[in-house]
Copies of this chain bind each other. A is one copy, B any other.
Amino acid sequence: MTSPNFHTVDIALAERSYPIQVGTGLLGTADVYVALPKASHAVVVSNTTVAPLYAEALLAALKPRYANVQLVTLPDGEVFKTWQTLNQIFDALLSEGCDRKTILFALGGGVVGDMTGFAAASYMRGVPFVQVPTTLLSQVDSSVGGKTGINHPLGKNMIGAFYQPQLVVCDLDTLKTLPTRELSAGLAEVIKYGPIADMAFLDWIEAHLDALLARDPVALAHAVRRSCEIKAWVVGQDEREAGLRAILNFGHTFGHAIEAGLGYGEWLHGEAVGCGMVMAAHLSHKLGLVDAAFVERLTQLVKKAGLPIVGPQLDAKDNAGRYLELMRLDKKSEAGDIRFVVIDGPARASVRGAPDALVREVIDACCAG
């Protein structure tokens, strides 16, 4: 390893384990990839924003190891997380004669990672892949844990697979070029890990928020590492979301309704989750599980991170009704019963239903008039 500055978090899953490397100067370092399976083809999947910045370095690092190294560049954005875009990857793989040992590299944010992962899960019924996340959100959340997929016009991430990468490479240098709005969006998922799993981490985030927003590399390294550790711990216990893993969706039930209601891409995923956490905290309070001080503390932190704390209007006539309708379509719903992740103690989350009337009160209190 030539990079002087890295740290490895291991994900231990029933079927197999893989390392998450967190550090600087990683993605262009050939040594990072030495433990990967041999193949004749390596295909890097990226998008029009990220490829010009980092594809060349990654391709160069892979060339000593793989005889055929190619780049597939997708359009950038959540609106392109569709079958049509996914099929661009399949077209490229098939027209280049890629076999079932071909290894894919997802170079980009959550959309690239989710689509490349699903392409890897499905191409010839499964080829290996590597996550090289270049956004804070994908480094702390979507690249870890094996959730892959695409959107359907009727719902987000409705089509996909649980499929684990061989390796995750979190190169902190890529965060230098991240737009501020996306940095904030990533912080939403970092903040999430506090209330659900580690209040000391929440204290740390509050104390270091200015450093994080200023992209201090030491602070970012700790935030990414600790987030990955917590996610690895949860996913290691419940890969397929039979139970515990669902707590990682804190803020996501309301958040998904916001994203779906506004149209995907209008708010960033992290922005919707930030606002969704505020709404879920309100719901937890209304259910008598946390005090008002906790709601206020979380709301202030989300706000300081540069995230919205007031939900958008999704319907002029019956806004709360529209939220409820959208949440019933959420994957976590069972037979039309919406499942909410609530906080029910320090660093403790659980999944439960709630009366519609109570949820309406929360929506009315948390949304713009």
Contact = CB atoms under 8 A, between A and B. Distances in A.
B154 A125 contact: no
Given A94-B154, A94-B155, A162 B99 contact: no
Interface string A341-353: 0000000000000
A331 B154 contact: no
B125 A149 contact: yes
A79 interface: no
A261 interface: no
A192 to B, nearest CB: 20
A140 interface: no
Interface stretch (A19-27, A207-215, A332-340): A332-340
Contact of A90 (B157, B159, B335): B159
Contacts of A152: 90, 94
Interface in A193-242: 240
Interface of A: 40-41, 83, 87, 90-91, 94-95, 97, 99-101, 121-126, 147-149, 152, 154-155, 157-162, 240, 328-329, 331-336
Contacts of A329: 94, 97
Nearest to A162: B125
Nearest to A160: B125
Contacts of A87: 83
A160 B162 CA distance: 13
Given A123-B159, A126-B162, A240-B126, A154 B334 contact: no
Contacts of A97: 328-329, 336
B159 A331 contact: no
A353 to B, nearest CB: 13
Chain B CB within 10 Å — which of A91, A125, A161 has the most? A125
Contacts of A122: 122, 149, 159-161
Copies of this protein in the complex: 2
Interface of A is mostly: mixed
Contacts of A149: 122, 125
Given A87-B83, A90-B158, A334 B101 contact: yes
Chain B CB within 10 Å — which of A99, A101, A148, A329 has the most? A99
Contact of A333 (B94, B99, B240, B333): B99
A121 B335 CA distance: 20
Contacts of A101: 334-335
Contacts of A336: 97, 99
A122 B161 CA distance: 6
Chain B CB within 10 Å — which of A87, A100, A148 has the most? A100
Given A99-B334, A122-B122, A126-B161, 6 more contacts: A90-B158, A90-B159, A97-B328, A124-B331, A125-B147, A125-B240
A161 B90 contact: no
B99 A154 contact: no
A40 B328 CA distance: 14
B158 A94 contact: yes
A123 to B, nearest CB: 7
Nearest to A155: B94
A300 B215 CA distance: 74
